[in-house]
Chain A
Amino acid sequence: MTPDSTQDQQSGGLATAEEAIARLEDVQRVTEVALAHLDLEDLLNELLLRVREILRVDTAAILLVEDDGKTLAARAAKGLEEEVERGFRLPIGRGFAGRVAATREPVVIPDLDNSPITVVNPLMREKNVRSLLGVPLLIEGEVIGVLHVGSLTSRDFREADVELLQVVADRVALSIERSRLAVQGQIAEALQRSLLPRTLPDLPGFELAARYLPAAQEASLGGDWYDVIELGFRRLGISIGDVAGHGLGAATYMGQLRSAMRAYALDVEEPAEVLRRLSRYADQEHSRMATVIYATLGLESGIVRFARAGHPYPLVLRADGKSEFLAKVGGPPLGTGARYEYDEQSVTLAPGDTLLLYTDGLIERRGERLSEGEEALVAAASAAPDDPELRCDAIITELTGDIETSDDVAVVAIRAVAFDRPLEVNFPAQAEQLATVRHLVRRWVAANGGTDDDCAAFAIAVSEACANSIEHAYGPTDETIGMRADLEDGIAAVTISDRGSWREPRGENRGRGIPVMREFIDDVAIETGEKGTTVVLSRRLGERPR
């Protein structure tokens, strides 16, 4: 170290007040730069270099309190690098650093050979450290670690030294805390980004919203998830779950379960069977417990089928303001080893009805009974706006707003909405759109009182009309097709219009499409003009003799 490190003992290591201020500014600069550091080790090492310089000492070290809250572990050291390399640890209360942590007060040892405090770290003697000064690293009164400096020559650390080191320690503690929070925020964010659906599908007839709220407490990265699985044009899969415990282990297992669920959902239609398979997978993989609901939503029928493994009840909020928890079926959580044949329950969502799925973080409060949490949820959900996005926000604000959430929270809201009448949509003139369009038409016809036959008739006729537009009207451009569906006096009329400029008269080119349309639709009107072609398909909805 600098040769003068022990020479200006008169001023306690500091030459002048100006110098003290300059050094404080130096500390400030270091800690501000440190905010950019996400790697804690890098940050600590850089801070220690500055500390050693500022206090003109030979050694500097930081020990941090471990997750158990009882042990200090060396995390960074200058002049005592082996301390870190050897993985030095000591219980709070023992030795020099242990005493600093236990008392939360600065501790000075002017001469190691004549000290009442037993220094347990053999390295201190190996290195011939003579004098030590240690201060606690405090965040809101809690000890998170110890910062100590040492001199190889005898040094009488004075009040001014102690104060300066404590100022440095406070800044270091803040930097560590910020770095930890930043790292944690980044991990949680990355995890959430990779494991939760980026966007929810756009489904005419339904509105979907979902929220994931990480736990407020440090180091409690959670295992909650939700997922939305597109299972084709008629069904949507929805899963929500909660893996027991916290931390990266829980979050990783959450990812595994979510993926396994996806795989089963693509293969198997019955929610109860999906859960049965997932349960067997879980038993094989882990002893960690998890609760889960798997549900499918019939896009044409609005029927939700679900099975439940130890998870809080789904809540249905009806358009008329009534609500009910769906508690008929259940079963043990995953990971208990219990072979259980899950049953399914179903509920129909009519326009205006909302299904709410959530994890226990939303309703469980310390010192409260579960039923109180459920009542609070019903009250909050009922008072919230109908729009699922707004409803999710309102529920979360109401139930978690004034407390620090110790658990993470996931919420999914699905609302059936009445189809607009007339329904008007535009879509790209591409064959890949046909299936989406005909299933949209099916659902619109069904929602307006059409029978299965009516749905099928409009599905194929609309699909044929659109296919003709795509085939004959357009080149490989980004043209669009417009569809408008309306109902008048029991007759549904669907208009397909394109703006294609025709290269040749239509007619024969429509091939088999037109006979197929006419087979299923009472009245097919085709009008070709300079601005494009319009096809109007009209059919009376309702039962008819076969």
Chain B
Amino acid sequence: MMPDLARLSFQRDGDVELAQVAGEVDASNVGDLSEELLETLSNDVRAVVLDLTNTSYIDSSGISLIFDAAARLRNRRQEFRLVVPPRSFVGEVLSAVSIEESVPIDPAVDDALAAVGSPD
């Protein structure tokens, strides 16, 4: 049996939810990831940080997932930030679709947590 392509984990830091994706995101698992992510994110957190530091692969289906999540959180008036290491493959893919225009990107988790609540 192949191990799971990607694993999603959550960590609560005060009123910030940190969601971390490790592995590869493509059309085969994006449905499950999306469901798990959106079900777990609760209304009572102020901000959500999606950490893609350990995401080794993401394609356009994963990009759609991020745009969907961004739209949903915006409707719920929750802040949303991405963590993407500079010069990573995932960073390259995301910049190809100019995702930074919709969701602020930080190079590391600490930066994202520090930036939560501050005006961009």
Residues of A participating in the B interface, judged by any CB pair closer than 8 Å: 230-233, 266, 430-435, 438, 456, 459-460, 463-464, 467, 470-471, 511-513, 515-516, 519-520
User: Could you tell me which residues of chain B, from 47 to 66, have a CB within 8 Å of some CB in chain A?
Assistant: 57, 59-61, 63-64
Using CB atoms, name the residue of chain B closest to A433.
Answer: B28
B residues within 8 A CB of A266? 3
B residues within 8 A CB of A438? 26, 57
Assess the B60–A431 pair: CB atoms within 8 A.
no
A residues within 8 A CB of B64? 511-512
Assess the B89–A467 pair: CB atoms within 8 A.
no
For residue B79, CB closer than 8 A to chain A, the reply is no
Given A512-B63, A513-B59, A519-B96, 20 more A-B residue pairs with CB atoms under 8 Å apart are A230-B2, A431-B27, A435-B5, A435-B24, A456-B89, A460-B57, A460-B59, A463-B59, A464-B59, A464-B60, A467-B27, A467-B59, A470-B27, A471-B27, A512-B64, A512-B97, A515-B96, A515-B97, A519-B93, A520-B92
Assess the B59–A431 pair: CB atoms within 8 A.
no
CB contact under 8 A between A513 and B60, given known A230-B2, A231-B3, A456-B89: yes
Chain B 59-101 near chain A by CB (<8 Å), digits 1 or 0: 1110110000000000000000000000001001100110000
B90 to chain A minimum Cβ distance, whole angstroms, is 10
B residues within 8 A CB of A520? 92, 96
A residues within 8 A CB of B59? 434, 460, 463-464, 467, 513, 516
CB contact under 8 A between A512 and B60, given known A230-B1, A519-B96: yes
Q: List 16 A-B contacts (CB under 8 A).
A: A232-B2, A430-B28, A434-B27, A435-B24, A435-B28, A438-B26, A464-B59, A467-B27, A467-B60, A511-B60, A512-B60, A516-B59, A516-B96, A516-B97, A519-B93, A519-B96
Contact of A434 among B1, B28, B96 (CB under 8 A): B28
A residues within 8 A CB of B28? 430-435
A residues within 8 A CB of B24? 435
Q: In the assembly, what is the distance between CA of A233 and CA of B26, in Å?
A: 14
B residues within 8 A CB of A434? 26-28, 59
Assess the A435–B26 pair: CB atoms within 8 A.
yes
Interface centre among B5, B59, B92, B93 (most CB of A within 10 A): B59
Interface centre among A433, A512, A519 (most CB of B within 10 A): A512
Chain B 15-46 near chain A by CB (<8 Å), digits 1 or 0: 00000000010111000000000000000000
Using CB atoms, name the residue of chain A closest to B61.
Answer: A467
Q: In the assembly, what is the distance between CA of A513 and CA of B59, in Å?
A: 8
Using CB atoms, name the residue of chain A closest to B28.
Answer: A431
Q: In the assembly, what is the distance between CA of A433 and CA of B3, in Å?
A: 14
Contact of B93 among A433, A467, A516 (CB under 8 A): A516
Q: In the assembly, what is the distance between CA of A516 and CA of B60, in Å?
A: 7
B101 to chain A minimum Cβ distance, whole angstroms, is 14
Top-5 shortest CB links A-B = A519-B96, A431-B28, A512-B60, A431-B27, A513-B60
A25 to chain B minimum Cβ distance, whole angstroms, is 56
Q: In the assembly, what is the distance between CA of A469 and CA of B2, in Å?
A: 24
Using CB atoms, name the residue of chain B closest to A456.
Answer: B89
Q: In the assembly, what is the distance between CA of A231 and CA of B2, in Å?
A: 6
Assess the A431–B3 pair: CB atoms within 8 A.
no
Contact of A463 among B1, B3, B26 (CB under 8 A): B26
B residues within 8 A CB of A515? 96-97
Using CB atoms, name the residue of chain B closest to A460.
Answer: B59
B residues within 8 A CB of A467? 26-27, 59-61
